[in-house]
Amino acid sequence: MGFSKKVSSLKESATLQAAAKAKALKDQGVNVLNLTIGEPDFSTPKSIQNAAIKSIDNGSSSFYTPATGLPDLKQAIIDRTREDYGITYQMNEVFVGSGAKFVLYALFQTLLDPGDEVIIPTPYWVSYSAQVELADGTPVFVETTQDNHYRLTVEELEQARTPKTQAIILNSPSNPTGSIYTAEELQKIGEWAVSNNIYIIADDIYAKLVYNGNVFTSIVSLSDEIKQQTIVVNGVSKAYAMTGWRIGYALCDKEIAAQVSKVISQSTGNPAAVSQYAAIEALSGSQAIVEEMRQTFETRLNDIFPLVQEIPGVRVEKPQGAFYLYLDIKETLDMCGYDNVTNWVNDLLEEAHVAVVTGEAFGTSHHVRISYATDMDTLTQAIRQINEFIDSKR
Ligand code: PLP
């Protein structure tokens, strides 16, 4: 009797945990201002909902589909990627899974042997390291800082490389910092990965959420050699406000896709058919809805950023994409007499009723993440309450 060592030592997703804690307090009747949320605050657009309803009405979503997705969905992914990236993939180079999160999980299961190392730039999205460990791999963290715009250099990668390095994860635009790699930086990283036979896992889930004239470059568009060694991970959650539908996908070499398909067919089987029909509409229907949501996030970012900059002790760089602000609150913690950011975050929730995510969840010790995927009233009121909380501690 008992539990596996692997799972016993596994932590729950810190972002989901922070959101649950905020919700529990809300359920007790406390007016919590929740800035932990990692999903758009819009409902899925009607046209997409209607496509799902149609697939229920006509019975087409009643049945299993191929484990790695309907051919029509794979085609829609290929067409969207060709339009967005200018790169053409074949049907056997695409697989669909139950959310980008599970796509990543299946990938690590496929690519890693015990002890294989995966380079993860910090701050990192919470699930990367946990998923690497679940696949018996070893996460190797390489620190990025605000001073280098939260972007890695090849020199830093080279220092982290060992004969066991199997893959590197790039998440541009980044959760939690919103930073985006330039084409030149990606070219150098791509060439380094090619010359050292290291897979690049490009988590492009925020690729469509880019603001203020900044530009997203897809690393696979830079050369055939780089494309060959890169697995692009994407999904409909963030760009189409479809987090609940659980559709993610990857584009990669056909051998990798064939191997991953075994993991998917023996674990989840196909992602929910009704969600696949919705995703076909999302990817192949009008993209004006994506632009509308993007503009809303951009306006919010531009309105909220000056207020965030004025929070006492905060250092923050304006994000280029995604929908998070990653605040360096080292000085704030000193001002408030805290030596631990998670304690500060807990007290902020309990005393000021504002929920944010501790930087410890992203592998840094004196940051917090604020999501601006919420309305302006909530955001401005939350910042007011954060300022009052800091004042009360000084
Ligand atoms: N990758 C990053 C960087 C994310 O922030 C998220 C969601 O929070 C995901 C992947 C997973 O997205 P989903 O599983 O909803 O497709």
Domain termination residue (choose one: 264, 284, 304): 284
pLDDT of residue 1: 87
- 204 and 343, same structural domain? no
Across the range 126-139, mean pLDDT stands at 95
Provide the residue range defining the domain that includes 143: 63-284
Does residue 276 fall inside a structural domain? yes
Residue 175, ligand 1, Cβ within 6 A: yes
Cross-strand bridge partners of residue 355: 34
- 177 and 77, same structural domain? yes
Q: Please name which of 38, 37, 36, 39 lies closest in space to residue 240, comparing C-alpha atoms.
A: 39
For 303-361, the DSSP string reads HHHHHHHTSTT-B-PPPSBTTEEEEE-HHHHHHHT-S-HHHHHHHHHHHH-EE-EEGGG
- 271 and 142, same structural domain? yes
Domain termination residue (choose one: 284, 305, 329): 284
Q: Please name which of 117, 197, 207, 110 lies closest in space to residue 160, comparing C-alpha atoms.
A: 117
Instruction: Return the DSSP state at 12.
Output: P
Query: How many domains is the chain built from?
Result: 2
Does residue 49 fall inside a structural domain? no
Q: What is the 153 CA–ligand 1 centroid distance (Å)?
A: 24
Cross-strand bridge partners of residue 326: 369
Instruction: Supply 84's token pair.
Output: 């967005």
203's CB contacts (< 8 A; 6+ apart) are 100, 104, 125, 169, 170, 171, 233
- 179 and 230, same structural domain? yes
Does residue 81 fall inside a structural domain? yes
- 312 and 297, same structural domain? yes
Give, in order, the Cα–Cα distances in Å from 83 to each of 63, 78, 80, 89, 360.
30, 9, 5, 11, 38
**Contact in structure between 90 and 74 (CB atoms under 8 Å):** no
- 240 and 304, same structural domain? no
Q: What is the 147 CA–ligand 1 centroid distance (Å)?
A: 26
**CATH code, 332:** 3.90.1150.10
- 203 and 293, same structural domain? no
Residue 101, ligand 1, Cβ within 6 A: yes
Q: What is the pTM of this model?
A: 0.96
Q: 7-11, 147-151, 336-340: which range is least confident on average?
A: 7-11
- 246 and 137, same structural domain? yes
Residue 317, ligand 1, Cβ within 6 A: no
Give, in order, the Cα–Cα distances in Å from 88 to each of 79, 95, 219, 370.
8, 15, 14, 36
d(CA 219, CA 173): 12
Domain termination residue (choose one: 252, 284, 316): 284
- Return the SS3 of 232: strand
Residue found under tokens 């004239």: 213
Backbone angles phi, psi at 117, to 5 degrees: -105, 140
Residue to mutate (ligand 1; options 238, 245, 247, 249; most atoms within 8 A of CB): 238
- 316 and 384, same structural domain? yes
User: Does residue 208 carry a pLDDT above 90?
Assistant: yes
User: How many CA atoms within 13 Å lie on the side-chain side of 110?
Assistant: 24
Does residue 230 fall inside a structural domain? yes
**Contact in structure between 182 and 174 (CB atoms under 8 Å):** no
- 183 and 83, same structural domain? yes
User: Does residue 12 carry a pLDDT above 90?
Assistant: no
**CATH code, 161:** 3.40.640.10
pLDDT of residue 10: 87
- 204 and 126, same structural domain? yes
Over the stretch 52-106, which tens digit does the pLDDT of each residue have? 999 999 999 999 999 999 999 999 999 999 999 999 999 999 999 999 999 999 9
Over the stretch 303-346, which tens digit does the pLDDT of each residue have? 999 999 999 999 999 999 999 999 999 999 999 999 999 999 99
User: Does residue 230 carry a pLDDT above 90?
Assistant: yes
pLDDT of residue 16: 79
- 178 and 31, same structural domain? no
Residue 171, ligand 1, Cβ within 6 A: yes
Q: Please name which of 345, 380, 378 lies closest in space to residue 359, comparing C-alpha atoms.
A: 345
ipTM of the shown complex? 0.99
